[in-house]
Amino acid sequence: MASSISIIGASGAVGTTLAGQILRSSLLKSGDRLQLVARGVESSSAKLLSTRIDLMDAFDDEGVDIEVVANIEDVDADIVVMCAGISLRENLIDRRDWGRANLALYEQIAEICAQRAPDSFFIIVSNPVELAVDIFSKKLGRERVIGMGAEQDSLRFARAIAHDLGLNRNSVAASVLGEHGQAMVPLWSSVELTRPNSNIMHEFNRIRELSTASPLEQRVAHLRAQVLDLIQLGQINEAYEATRRALPDARIFVQPLITWRTMQSTPNATANATLRFLIASLSDTPHPLHGQVFLSGDVFDMKGVCGVPVDVSRQGWTINRMRSLDRIEQERIRHASDSIKTYLASLTVT
């Protein structure tokens, strides 16, 4: 049976990059369809028409049908990737800053999708991920909505650890739960190394022990202040070097900030994490990932949106087995859940 993927916000940096990665991956075959959704304005439609021709020139070997539609009302696919949103290009420090600017837009798009694509599976990319997951879950049903932020954060954590150990990222597995933002919870207890030797294990244990020397929140705050000062001076290389000297759990909070302040996006990393969800969503075999979902007492009796381990397949998502966590890690996850809940409630207060 033919498969179809729709990208809402396909004219943006992430949407365009994701379209290219989908076609390059050969995930879609002849007879399948990739739908690029414009914003109903002439400039957006014109850009996507040109993007379509460019993609066909590059990736037409598989014979995938690349379609451009002008309006969100025309969304029609098995899987819908939500990338649309209002960008805040100036002085962004926290993803939560997007909340009020995008609240009405997310509600409008979710309402249209509930009417137009009632059976689709939705992957949320738009920031704040927790806000969009909350809105879409309430309008479409929580079992059909998942945010990709926790997977992107987990990949960053794994890469940071691998870098410090002199390994490739595919030799490290790691989990980051909670929020895709200030209430991220990197889990040292989740880290698994592929065939480590004694020297690598010694260095890993040393790094992990260093992370307990001072609270993560203090280290992140100090690093963020240092990096923002360097960015203000235009010293981008020095800012990246400052994050490289930091421990991996603090680094993942601040390094993306530099990329955002210089590029206004992290298109390749975001598209790569999203592609993992697309591959899983078209597979009959469950794939272990990390995602923001709307919980109903599934994990630690938490309710509301939070990033957790999930299995994703053609049948949707289910909660994956939570690894053994120490007391502090459990408390941090519960705190993240409460923080997200408080934040989302604040957006409805006028």
Q: How many residues does the chain have?
A: 350
DSSP helix/strand/coil, 132:
helix
Among candidate residues 248, 241, 244, 220, the one with its CA nearest the CA of residue 94: 220
Nearest to 95 by CA among 123, 124, 126, 122: 126
Distance CA 120, CA 116 (A): 9
User: Which backbone phi and psi does 308 adopt, to 5 degrees?
Assistant: -145, 165
Q: Distance between CA atoms of 3 and 32, rounded to whole angstroms? A: 5
- Extract the tokens encoding 43: 């400039």
Place of tokens 């087995």: 321
- For residues 255 and 240, what is the distance between their CA atoms, to the nearest angstrom? 7
287 is a catalytic site residue: no
* Amino acid of residue 81: V
Distance, CA of 21 to CA of 209 (rounded, Å): 38
Question: Per the residue annotation, which of 180, 222, 287, 290 is the catalytic one?
Answer: 180
CB 118 within 8 A of CB 159: no
Which two tokens mark 266?
A: 């992290």
The CA distances from residue 194 to 87, 187, 287, 309, in Å, are: 39, 17, 19, 20
Q: How far apart are CA 290 and CA 307, in angstroms?
A: 7
Q: Are 148 and 124 in contact (CB under 8 A)?
A: yes
Residues that are catalytic: 180
